Amino acid sequence: MLQAEEVSKRFGGLVALSAVSLDLRPGEVHGLIGPNGSGKTTLLNMISGFYPVDQGTVSLDGVALNTESVAQRAQRGIARTFQKPRLLGPLSVLDNAMLGGWRDVGSSFLATALSMPRAWREERELRERATQMLKGVGMAHALDRPANLLEHAEQRFLEIARGLVGRPRFLLLDEPAGGLTPTEIDHLATVIRVLREAGIGILLVEHHTDFVFRISDRVTALDLGRLVRHGTPDEVRNDAEVIRVYLGA
Amino acid sequence: MLTVIVYGLAIGSVYAATALVYNVMYSTSKVLSVSTGHVPMLGGIFGAFFIGQLNLPIVVGLVLAVAVAALFNYLTDVVAVRRVLARSDEHLWLLSTLAVATMISQTMALWWGTEPKPFPRLFPQDFSQGIADQKYWLPVAAAVICAVGLELFYRRTMYGKLFVATSEDAFAARARGINTDRVRSFSYVLAGALGGIAGFAAGQLTFAYFALGFSLTLNGFIAIAVGGLGSNLGAVIGGLALGMMSSFATYFFGGEYQQTVAIGILMLVLILKPEGLFGSKQVRPV
Amino acid sequence: MTERSRVTRIAMLLIGAVLLVVLPFLVRDQYQLHLAQLIGVYWILIAGLNLVVGYSGQLSVGHVGLLAVGAYAFAIIAGKYDIPPLLALAACGMIGGLCGFLLGLPSLRLPGFYFAMATLAFAVIVTEQSVAQTELTGGGVGLPVPGFNAPFDTPAGLYWLILAVAALITWLSWNVARLMWGRALIGVRDSEVAARSVGISIYRAKLIVFIFSGVTAGLAGGLFSSLQSYITPDTFVFELGLFFFTCIIIGGRGSIIGPFIGTIILTAIPEVVAPLARLGNFFYGFLLLVVVLLTPEGFGRLIQQVLARFSGKVNESKVVAPDPDLLRKALQGARN
């Protein structure tokens, strides 16, 4: 279980998060919603390690991660996507996706330089895995295309595929539906359901509340850095406070 | 011993002025140009050229030399910075300013020559004045004028306030209708002029020498890194500290240790306080 | 890649290799052979530096300092202390690697411009100290440098030694480039955020590559000094460091063949086109500017794009269409 307990974060005088708790279990979709400035992305950044925690603990299976870097957490099987896709432009879609399997690359620089069999084995295996993931999420048509020529939706799905190549236990999605057409959001939902079936724990930070309620097992709602409501989609959707926050005072 | 201190102040002033040039350019463009040190170099060489070789009156030579330096920096903006800033690859401006620095350096080497040439006397003074020699006090005066002038510009003039606004938040500035391109170009011209004045004033100390370009780029950088990028006070203190340390190093260990000591100081500061003495820590958001 | 183009590629590589081996018999005079030797030596350094600059994106402009360290190390170890030259050369590589480690350790944590200045500072220190430590380096006067023993004691022999080392270094860097490490380095260069998010330790990667570039610079330095047969501090001017750097940028980042061609062109052109010899460094700076403004990915990439235009139909579909069954299977097969 991936957990954030009573985490708080300030930026100068601004309190971004105040004693928020959230946990993510394998094989579930946990939606995280809130208006702009509610702290959703901040929380995701803190769980993945991009922001240090001011107070509170981020832990995996009871082991505190507070002092671990982004890379170290990724090595533990915590993958993520970004609000604004971070891709390697000149490289192909396949190359970009293969990079997601880095944590399964055991070959050292020297072993790689010497063309050791293990390095080639890892290369072949990751290429195969990446190809399957890309085809699975819907990017079969663009495997060799340079990433800087991709449409927005393609970029998003590439990032998801990349996150999967490393066989993650948890996948943190940062507003993956942003800029997608309704059809594409349906595709996204299909993909997320398959991931859930496969036992991956998914944190879905999203603005599209309908989409979140549709697909999540549990939902957490934030406002101005505080936890407003946590529960099943129905509980959260019908909560008076949540409605007030979303429809304005 | 007194000479050591005075020399340190003088050369430190040149470093300080170069650091100010870095600051002014950085404030509006967030670019650290490799060609920064070449601006004072041009001030020195063209001062020597106009006054020493063309025998123009000193004031005319000063104005022309400063104009050349300012023009060079303006062209740096147009050619190396403007186009490149539009692209998101942050390495590119380092490459383009490096290219410009190389080209101007080599052009000077080819035209002016690779040997340092003497810079003419600006005030009547014989050469036996020791520490009162103008070659020490001109750079100090120039640095003071530049620093004070810059502060007054930022605080008292409308345009100066525009600079400050643009440097703190370019996006917001543009949203307010400020033409950030124009502000940046002007800031490069201003920085060029400052560097030109400093280089001109330091000519008798450093000689008119093409190799001064990269040397000042490095030393001016050390000054700004030690003092703290973005802080003019840091630039001055960093520059003077660097000048003094270099001078003392030369005195105690010999001239061959000058740069080594300077760089040693830099590494020490960067390891202990990476943002410099007066710099501010920056949080990098994702 | 199609079978035909693969065969063509291998054929071209073989032809190129054969030409390189028989080169001493093809050139007309000593001068041309010397030029080939020089290109070879420069390429040894640049092949390593390429991984630093072209792949991991660390803009080291002061690698000439590492070249100097290797050169002086060879002159001292093989010359003053009379150690067998090949052994001395190996030592140069190790010393270069050590210096790369010492330089990289504090510098690689610094942001781009600061790092570039740190490498420049290193080059300046090396120059200063090579003048100052007269006992060791002969000061401003410099040091004579011994040649290698048979069979490398003739110009052709030395050429083949250089070729062998260059081939080895090229092979090593090519392997890194085309396997996962190559992608990881490009991640470090183009998106540290993405790289960290997949588990790449940025600093460690940069440092390891930098050490490798130190080894190649050390080896290049040893061979270079033997080639020159006499070295002084003036041999290692800062402009040489810019030259190495420019070869890589012009040839194209993220490629092995690009910087190789860049090295050949930039070394050979001033020799071949006489007026350009005088303009020398100005020309490099000008080319660098042109590349940065027009084709930042280098000429190599430009050629690649032009060729791609002629290589037939490209799949233009942009529709994302998931295959849930395939995805399910893929995840099953891959589960921890």
Domain spans in chain A, listed from the N-terminal domain onward = 1-77+168-249, 86-167
Read off the amino acid at residue B113. G
- Residue B19 pLDDT exceeds 90: yes
Identify the pLDDT of residue A94: 96
Q: Strand order of the sheet with strand A78-80?
A: A78-80, A170-174, A201-205, A29-33, A218-223, A226-231
Mean pLDDT of B178-192: 87
Q: At A219, give phi and psi (nearest 5°).
A: -135, 140
* Rounded distance between C-alpha atoms, residue B41 and residue C331, angstroms: 63
**Does C1 contact A at CB distance below 8 Å?**
no
pLDDT number for residue B286: 35
pLDDT in tens, B108-149: 999 998 899 999 888 887 777 777 778 888 999 999 999 999
**pLDDT for res C222:** 95
What DSSP string runs through B213-261? Answer: HHHHHHHHHHHHHHH-TT-HHHHHHHHHHHHHHHHHHHHHH-GGGHHHH
Q: Taking CB atoms and an 8 Å cutoff, what residues of chain A touch B286? A: 45, 50-51, 82
Mean pLDDT of chain B: 86
In this predicted structure, what is the pLDDT of residue C335? 53
- Taking CA–CA distances from A187, the nearest residue in chain C reads C322
- Write down the domain spans for chain C: 29-312
Average pLDDT score over residue span B252-270: 79
CATH class of the domain at B2-122+135-272: mainly alpha
- A11 touching B, CB under 8 A? yes
Least confident of A124-138, B224-238, C277-291: C277-291
Q: Which of A75, B145, B59 is nearest to C200 (CA)?
A: A75
DSSP annotation of A24: E
**What ipTM was reported for this prediction?**
0.92
Strand-pairing partners, residue A23, are A3
Residue B50: what pLDDT? 92
H or E element at residue C329: helix C324-334
Q: Residue A221 forms beta bridges with which residues? A: A33, A229
CB distance C327–A187 less than 8 Å? Answer: no
| Whether A88 and C187 lie within 8 Å, measured CB to CB | yes
User: Would you call B282 an interface residue with chain A, using a CB distance cutoff of 8 Å?
Assistant: no
A124 touches chain C (CB under 8 A): no
* Beta partners for residue A64, in sequence order: A59
Q: Which of A59-68, A90-99, B78-87 has the lowest mean pLDDT?
A: B78-87
Which pLDDT does position B209 carry in this prediction? 93
Residue B218 at interface with chain C, using a CB cutoff of 8 Å? yes
Tell me which fold the domain C29-312 belongs to. Answer: ABC transporter involved in vitamin B12 uptake, BtuC (1.10.3470)
Compute the average pLDDT of residues B226-248: 89
* Per-residue pLDDT at B229 exceeds 90: no
Architecture label for domain A1-77+168-249: 3-Layer(aba) Sandwich (3.40)
For A2, the 3-state DSSP assignment is strand
Per-residue pLDDT, B30: 84
Task: Check residue C89 and give its pLDDT.
Answer: 95
Output the pLDDT for position B159: 79
B112 CB-near residues (< 8 Å, 6+ apart):
B45, B49, B208, B210
Number of H helices, E strands in chain A: 10, 10
3-state secondary structure of B201: helix
For residue A11, pLDDT over 90 is answered with: no
pLDDT tens-place string over residues A149-198: 899 999 999 999 999 999 999 999 999 998 899 999 999 999 999 999 99
pLDDT at res. A249: 44
Smallest CA–CA distance, residue C2 to chain A, in Å, is 14
pLDDT value at residue C134: 86
Binned at pLDDT 50, 70 and 90, residue A247 comes out as low
CA distance A58 to chain C (A): 17
DSSP SS3 for B146: helix
Does A86-167 carry CATH code 1.20.1250.20? no
- Look up residue C233 and give its two tokens: 């501090």
d(CA B187, CA B198): 16
Integer Cα distance of C207 and C100 in angstroms: 8
* pLDDT of A235 over the 50 cut: yes
CB B14 within 8 A of CB B217: no
Q: How confident is the model at residue A130 (pLDDT cuts 50, 70, 90)?
A: very high
Cα separation, B223 vs B216, whole angstroms: 10
| Closest-CA distance of chain B to residue C45, Å | 20
The DSSP secondary structure of B6-69, one letter per residue, reads HHHHHHHHHHHHHHHHHHHHHHHH----TTTTHHHHHHHHHHIIIIIIS---HHHHHHHHHHHH
Low-confidence ranges of chain C (pLDDT < 70): 1-3, 276-277, 300, 311-315, 333-336
**Across the interface, do B92 and C284 touch by the CB < 8 Å criterion?**
no
Q: Tell if the CB–CB gap between B286 and A51 is shorter than 8 Å.
A: yes
| Min Cα separation C74/chain A (Å) | 25
Percent of chain C with pLDDT over 90: 49
User: What confidence score (pLDDT) does residue B146 get?
Assistant: 92
Rounded to 10°, the helix B2-29/B134-156 angle is 30
Q: Taking 60 as the threshold, does the pLDDT of residue B285 lie above it?
A: no
Q: Is A64 on the interface with C (CB under 8 A)?
A: no
How many contacts does A have with C, using Cβ atoms within 8 A? 179
Residue A4: the pLDDT is 85
Which pLDDT band, with edges at 50, 70 and 90, does B195 fall under? very high
Q: Is C329 on the interface with A (CB under 8 A)?
A: yes
